[in-house]
A = this chain, B = another copy of it.
Amino acid sequence: MSTLLTTDGKVASGVRIDYSALEDLFAPRTVAPYTPPPTGIDNLGITSTDRFHIPGVGEFVVDFKGYVRVARSKPTATDWVNAEVYTNLIEMRMFGQTDGVGEIVVTLNNDYLSTGMLRTPFECMSESQPDKACRMAVGAVFTVPKLGLTLYNKEPIELTIDQVRAIPPAGNPGVGRIYRMLPLFRTDTTGGPPAAYLTSLNFAMGTYLTESELAALRGMGSSVV
């Protein structure tokens, strides 16, 4: 039995959450700061600006807009300082377009279980109300129909949020921790070299969506994929 696969054969970047019984959380909803939250599935907006380099084509920068659905575990403690919260990114869709390469849709790689967690950094454990750190290791698929490319990452994209004072960290900016160039591969070939690179990623978590806002974002770029 592989140490890295879930029972249904996905590659997991961390702790898997059984979210079958979790409540779907939508706007309007208030979040208490510095408080371990009840478990649930957060339906949140997201925006991201990603920079790509495709050898032979060039560099392009894309502003994306979309949504995420994040399943959250029950916190491991009732106090803010000690509580760890595990997360699974169970759905994502972002849409963007540029003059150069047309429409791009970003979704999750279903072969990967994109997981994350929030906890107090160890050096801050003696503070009474520390900011938490949030990480999420993501496997994504980038569909670029104008170029005939569907790309994915093998190394996870490490999305991080600092200064987390509420869970979820709605409204916080975050960054993809990319060392210079994250290789992206074509889904339609096996074992080949990278076809493109993700060179930077800056995102911002949105706030809770209403069910109709989520439905509208689900429809963006539906002619692409």
Which residues in A have some Cβ–Cβ distance to B below 8 Å? Answer: 1-5, 9, 11-16, 53, 59, 76, 84, 86, 109, 111-112, 115, 117, 119, 121-122, 133, 135, 137, 139, 152, 154-156, 158, 160, 177, 179-181, 183, 185, 187, 190-194, 197, 199
Interface centre among A5, A16, A192 (most CB of B within 10 A): A5
Q: Which residue of B lies closest to A133 (CB)?
A: B180
Please indicate the chain B residues that have their CB under 8 angstroms from the CB of A2 in the complex: 9, 11, 111
Q: Taking chain A's interface residues, is the majority helix, strand, or loop, or is none over half, making it mixed?
A: loop
**Distance (Å) between the CB of A150 and the closest chain B CB?**
10
Q: Are A122 and B191 in touch, CB under 8 angstroms?
A: no
Please indicate the chain B residues that have their CB under 8 angstroms from the CB of A11 in the complex: 2, 4-5, 11
This chain: copies in complex: 2
Please indicate the chain B residues that have their CB under 8 angstroms from the CB of A154 in the complex: 3-4, 12-14, 115, 137
Q: Are B13 and A155 in touch, CB under 8 angstroms?
A: yes
Bound CA span A72–B86, Å: 37
User: Can you add 12 more A-B contacts, CB < 8 Å, to A3-B185, A15-B194, A133-B180?
Assistant: A4-B109, A4-B139, A12-B154, A13-B154, A14-B194, A115-B154, A133-B181, A137-B154, A137-B155, A155-B156, A158-B179, A160-B180
Please indicate the chain B residues that have their CB under 8 angstroms from the CB of A181 in the complex: 119, 121-122, 133
Among candidates B13, B177, B194, residue contacting A179 with C-beta atoms closer than 8 Å: B177
Q: Which residue of B lies closest to A162 (CB)?
A: B180
Q: Are B155 and A121 in touch, CB under 8 angstroms?
A: no
Please indicate the chain B residues that have their CB under 8 angstroms from the CB of A187 in the complex: 3
Please indicate the chain B residues that have their CB under 8 angstroms from the CB of A133 in the complex: 179-181
Q: What are 10 residue pairs bridging A and B, where the CB atoms are less than 8 Å apart in the complex?
A: A4-B139, A11-B11, A13-B155, A76-B193, A86-B193, A117-B194, A121-B181, A122-B197, A133-B180, A135-B180
